[in-house]
Chains A and B, each alone.
Chain A
Amino acid sequence: DGGITQSPKYLFRKEGQNVTLSCEQNLNHDAMYWYRQDPGQGLRLIYYSQIVNDFQKGDIAEGYSVSREKKESFPLTVTSAQKNPTAFYLCASLGGANQPQHFGDGTRLSIL
């Protein structure tokens, strides 16, 4: 089945540590997105990529970094500069202008 796989499902970060969240899709979609979800705030866009080797900052990019070396993969690194990283992180992809975004099942990040 085609879809988006996020791993790990749960992740813990120590003080001063960078952690990387994985997002892989086999939908052959060009565009991919990372969102952060906090209770009562909906989803906020961190980064997005329309094509391989290109990505743009979203509304809350500070303290995060991404890469897009392959069409299928869009990993997100939460750096030590992100002082409040505890949240649910969702990856999505988009196949066409009139289509809905498809979402993975998320990674829940907590601070140790």
Chain B
Amino acid sequence: AQSVAQPEDQVNVAEGNPLTVKCTYSVSGNPYLFWYVQYPNRGLQFLLKYITGDNLVKGSYGFEAEFNKSQTSFHLKKPSALVSDSALYFCAVSPVGGSARQLTFGSGTQLTVLP
């Protein structure tokens, strides 16, 4: 069975500082990895994905994530945080070739960027 851990329920960072939201995963075989963002009372918006290739993935709104196979991690990063980045962030994993591409989600990390 696959699983995702987001060890921090809440991350606070000052505007302009770099941010990191952590994610580790467990899956049989190679993973598909995704990051989504959710604003209050809205659906999830796709930020970026890792399928194969370069371990550093660049996505929307200046976000990037680094795939580390040995540490089974896929941490989300941004060099300079904006107040508008404040939202709930979800990491998700699916095994390559998995049935119907079922995603398993982490429990989410609430990011607050302080002005």
In the complex, residue of chain B having the shortest beta-carbon distance to the beta carbon of A91: B43
- Chain B residue contacts of A105, Cβ below 8 A: 41-43
Main secondary structure of the interface of B (DSSP, over half): mixed
The answer, yes or no, to whether B107 is at the interface (CB within 8 Å) is yes
Of A14-22, A41-49, A69-77, the stretch lying at the interface with chain B is A41-49
Q: Indicate if the CB atoms of A56 and B100 lie closer than 8 Å.
A: yes
Residue B103 is within 8 A (CB to CB) of chain A in the complex = yes
Q: Is A66 an interface residue, CB under 8 A from the partner?
A: no
A102 touches B100 (CB 8 A): no
Tell me the dominant secondary structure on chain A's binding face. strand
Q: Is the CB of A40 within 8 A of B108?
A: yes
B12 within 8 A of A: no
Query: Is B22 positioned at the interface, with any CB of A under 8 Å from its CB?
Result: no
Contact of A100 among B9, B46, B102, B108 (CB under 8 A): B46
Render A89-102 as a binary contact track against B, CB cut-off 8 A, 1 for contact: 01010100110111
Q: Which interface class (under 10, 10 to 19, 20 to 34, 35 or more) fits B?
A: 20 to 34
Q: Select which of B41, B102, B106 is within 8 A of A42 by beta carbon.
A: B106
A100 touches B34 (CB 8 A): yes
Which residues on the B side are within 8 Å of A106 (C-beta)? 41-43
A104 on the B face (CB < 8 A): yes
A31 at the interface (CB under 8 A from B): yes
Q: Are A104 and B101 neighbours in the complex by a CB distance under 8 Å?
A: no
Query: Whose C-beta in chain A lies nearest to the C-beta of B39?
Result: A105
Q: Which of B43, B103, B107 contacts A104 (CB 8 A)?
A: B43
Chain B residues whose C-beta falls within 8 Å of the C-beta of A103 in the assembled complex:
36, 43-45
In the bound complex, what is the Cα–Cα distance between A98 and B103 (angstroms)?
A: 12
> Are B43 and A97 in contact (CB-based, < 8 A)?
no
> Chain A interface (Cβ within 8 Å of chain B)?
4, 6, 31, 40-43, 45, 48, 50, 56, 58, 88, 90, 92, 94, 97-98, 100-106, 108
CB-defined A-B contacts under 8 Å, sample of 13: A40-B9, A42-B107, A43-B90, A58-B102, A90-B43, A92-B43, A101-B44, A101-B46, A103-B44, A105-B42, A106-B41, A106-B43, A108-B41
